[in-house]
Structure 1
């Protein structure tokens, strides 16, 4: 998977952005690798892979690649895996694993993050159901529980993607700091740049550890509510704080450079909206002080 992401997808990120589509040959490769069923159990035609490792790898590149199959094996597929009959699993899961597109009806104008606020209704009519909105999977006893369980699992997937995106931003920073020079000195030798790299590395490692612990608690059943939410909150804020210094490390050209655009774009897609009270780790005064000691201007 790492080879596929870094050697086949990453070089084509600008092409994906320009065309606003995943190239057909990449989609075909994903299907041949059985990625549409990456988290679907092997008994139902999937790969049954680890909950977070694959997502961390996919987070390294355009999140559109992951979105092609994320719903199939994730939020929609897991409702079928955990709450449907064997006959329904046999009918649908192999098809999802092969690439048929699935969906999960959740978002409404006034609901989404709060599933309890959904206004779509399902009313029994004999042996049938009358749905006031998009079709739903489930019954009156398990539908809401199935949705909430699947959403909790999905949070772990999202936070793992955020860690992958943060790792990409860190790698871009380290690579540039090691090769770019000012006055004949690699900018990675400047204390301010080193401090930014250290903060980035700390965020990535903390996020990775938190995701793995949340995944462990989810799989064992010890905590399928609080831990996934805590890890998602941390990681989706962390990825933004790791991506922002990538632009600073690249100096005055950072906002315009193509090699910094993908990590910043991926981070923006996965980060939480900024909350009041957050401030950058380094203030303008510290920038000026370090610049006076010989740090590169940004």
Structure 2
């Protein structure tokens, strides 16, 4: 059992549960997912409650909460509705460059960015480059007191719904040293979100491409110095991977709880199916895997909160938690049998959503690469 570090954190988690009970109901989630409609008003409600700026300091308009507390909130949101939890995670990631690496002028924009009314998008991936982010081809050319940006970004969550876009573009030589970070308003001429992708899951939060054609961005919207963009992107992703791991833990816990409740009620051959060893062992493995994933996640979070290196631990948490979520949701469908394959039960949706978590914020193969490289160092 986790004990919140402060009364403020305890009250915050109580507020999250209250909002979840009122807004993140199963009918609301099922309806939005069926229609493929992004729950913008629900996310705005979370923002007005102060949940879009939890890990950022009070001087920037945030709640100044430890990252562990923020991740506990994400886990609870994902337990109810993954689309909403991922929206909060992506928004927090989108604010990170300006909040942490921006100059005084950019940092003055952060209170509005995390204040609740605005929504951000994080634009790193491209159609020909996902895992190989250093090979991006979107280009930003300096033209007087502006940059002119041309290129296409892919798999952008909140494309078309976002109010601002954190965009990584090439301003110099090939490779990571030639990449810079720019903050664009959604109203920027030449910034054009495309139709949303048709996904296996997360229909309400489907991403889209963002095409930039001669988009003129004021030069004072450069985050950090030219050439620092790749380093900014990677440091943001370290924290973002913890967000996805928290989403995976919440999703897996929801699937386990649903499967346990079903197995307690369902009888076959005169016994509850939870009493059959074949079912009981699946549930036992699921519960153990979720506990292990949660332990990895919050160990990494505490390292981050202590100002210690946590990149490898973040990769481990993201890898293990999302693989666990995929396994637990697969087993939950199996435990429900035919009932698990119909939309009357949410486990089929959780099964489809879990797959995405193994891909976003760096595929799990990239996480293994990060971990292996850390082992190879002296």
TM-score of the pair, normalised by structure 1: 0.82
Gapped runs of 5+ residues in structure 2?
Answer: 1-15, 153-166, 168-180, 183-222, 366-378
In 1, the alpha carbon distance for the partners of 2:235 and 2:113 equals 22
Q: Equivalent residues in 2 for 1:111-260 (5 A)?
A: 111-133=129-151, 135=167, 136-137=181-182, 138=223, 139-259=225-345, 260=347
Displaced runs of 4+ in structure 1, greater than 6 A? none
Partner of 2:375: none
Tell me the equivalent position of 1:49: 65
Gaps of 5+ in 1: 276-298
Q: Is 2:87 the counterpart of 1:82? A: no
Judge conservation of contact 1:123–1:129 (CA < 8 Å) in 2: yes
**1:30 aligned to 2:46?**
yes
CA distance in 2, matches of 1:268, 1:144: 27
Q: CA deviation at 1:163?
A: 0.6
Distance 1:128 1:251, change over 3 A: closer
Count of equivalent residues: 274
Match of residue 103 from structure 1 = 121
Would you say the 8 A contact 1:196–1:245 is kept in 2? yes
Q: Give the conservation status (yes or no) of the 8 Å contact 2:44–2:116.
A: no
**Secondary structure in structure 2 of the residue aligned to 1:103:** strand
Matched with 1:20 is 36
Distance change (3 Å), C-alpha of 1:257 and 1:68: closer
Tell me what 1:261 maps to: 348
The equivalent residue for 1:9 is 24
CA contact 1:34–1:97 (8 Å) conserved in 2: yes
Higher normalized strand content (fraction of residues): 2
Q: Which has the higher helix share?
A: 1
Higher relative contact order (CA 8 A, sep 6+): 1
Q: Is the 8 A contact 2:140 2:150 kept in 1?
A: yes
Alignment RMSD = 2.4
TM-score for the superposition, normalised by structure 2: 0.66
Name the SS for the 1:122 alignment partner. strand
